[in-house]
Amino acid sequence: MKGTPKSGEPFGDHSREAGTRGAPLSIMSRIAEARPEPEQLTLDPREAAPSPPFSQQKQKWPGKESEMDPAPDYGAETYRGHGRLEGRIALITGADSGIGRAVALAFAREGAHIAFTYLPEEKTDALESKAAINEAGVDCLPIAADLSEPTTCEDVIQKTVERFGRIDILVNNAAFQGEATDDVSELTPGRVEQTLRVNVLAPFVLVRACLPHMGPGGSIINVSSIQAYDPSSPILDYATSKGALVTFTKGLAQSLIERGIRVNSVAPGPVWTPLVIQSFSPEKNAHFGENSPMGRPAQPAELAPPFVFLASDESRYVNGEILGVTGGRLLA
């Protein structure tokens, strides 16, 4: 049609900008100039949380979140629930701090009632976790427990069932990570045994004791690690245990789906938690996460959404998967 502009051209000469003739600006140009800059709706992930260098710091085992600088973000000010776990019962090991606390808070704000374990030495942090969970309006059962003892693991399941009647979600999060060593010869049999008892044996025992109380639709989530795929020699016992959890997850998923129970794993990369501060030197901690593709460690709050996904019906066709939350480091 005569006078119809070609694709990409402005509509007629009256909308063209002035050039040298001094004609007025186009209507669209004037609107564009008057329109305020749009509010930034997305966030650069590299700048979404504190980046190193941090202050040099070192804590004794097992570490306290309340004494870390900067304080880890577990989602207290940011996580919003949508009722995806309404009325469910979740048992989360090691939820006094770090990833466990962030997951417990997220589950609570999604409507789940929470039981969680902590070491007696971690009572101060555990009380803060309990307060945050209770503020979400759900029931909470903190259980002091040393999970290196199988009978204690069985007691944890029993206490949870006595309180809530069943278990719908089990998160095997608690872990032991000793101080970084300079040589593999420093990894004594006693230390390796402690690592494997907490990180591998306890999940076996907890799952075994939990099964009579978990029905179809249940979800088990094991916390593995980037260390299973890219192990660091100074914490080789820890890395080995996380590799075992990957195998445990994949094999268990094939077995338990026959009961309608799904089993998956979240594999974190570097995360700013007490586990780190009590394991490495002050100098190492000051630069923790610096070699991540994002140039920083994750905050615990950034790990919670994948756990909510795996615990909820939104992932009902996901089974036997290892979900990496590594900031770009690859799971091979």
From the number of C-beta atoms within 10 Å of its C-beta (0-12, 13-18, 19+), residue 39 rates as exposed
Is the residue at 25 inside a domain? Answer: no
Is the residue at 37 inside a domain? Answer: no
Q: Provide the token pair at 92.
A: 């989360």
| Full domain range(s) for residue 298 | 45-325
Query: How far does Cα 6 stand from its chain's mean position?
Result: 52
Total domains in the chain come to 1
| Cβ-proximal residues to 327 (8 Å cutoff; 6+ apart), any chain | 45, 269, 270, 289, 292, 293, 294, 296, 297, 298
CATH number, residue 150: 3.40.50.720
Q: Provide the token pair at 293.
A: 């593709």
Q: Which of 79, 118, 238, 317 is catalytic?
A: 238
Is the residue at 24 inside a domain? Answer: no
Rounded to whole angstroms, the Cα distance separating 137 from 131 reads: 10
Rounded to whole angstroms, the Cα distance separating 290 from 299 reads: 14
pLDDT at 140: 98
SS (H, E, C) 116-141: EEECHHHHHHHHHHHHHHHHCCCCEE
DSSP letter for each residue of 238-249: HHHHHHHHHHHH
Is the residue at 17 inside a domain? Answer: no
Is the residue at 302 inside a domain? Answer: yes
Is the residue at 191 inside a domain? Answer: yes
pLDDT at 13: 43
Mean pLDDT by 10 residues, the chain (332 residues): 42 40 47 57 92 96 92 96 98 98 98 98 96 98 98 98 98 97 95 98 98 98 98 97 98 98 98 95 96 96 98 98 97 84
Is the residue at 273 inside a domain? Answer: yes
Is the residue at 38 inside a domain? Answer: no
b (16+ CB within 10 A) / e for 85-120 = beebbbbbbbbbbbbbbbbbbbbbbbbbbbbbbbbe
Catalytic (active site) residue 238: yes
Q: Provide the token pair at 74.
A: 């577990």
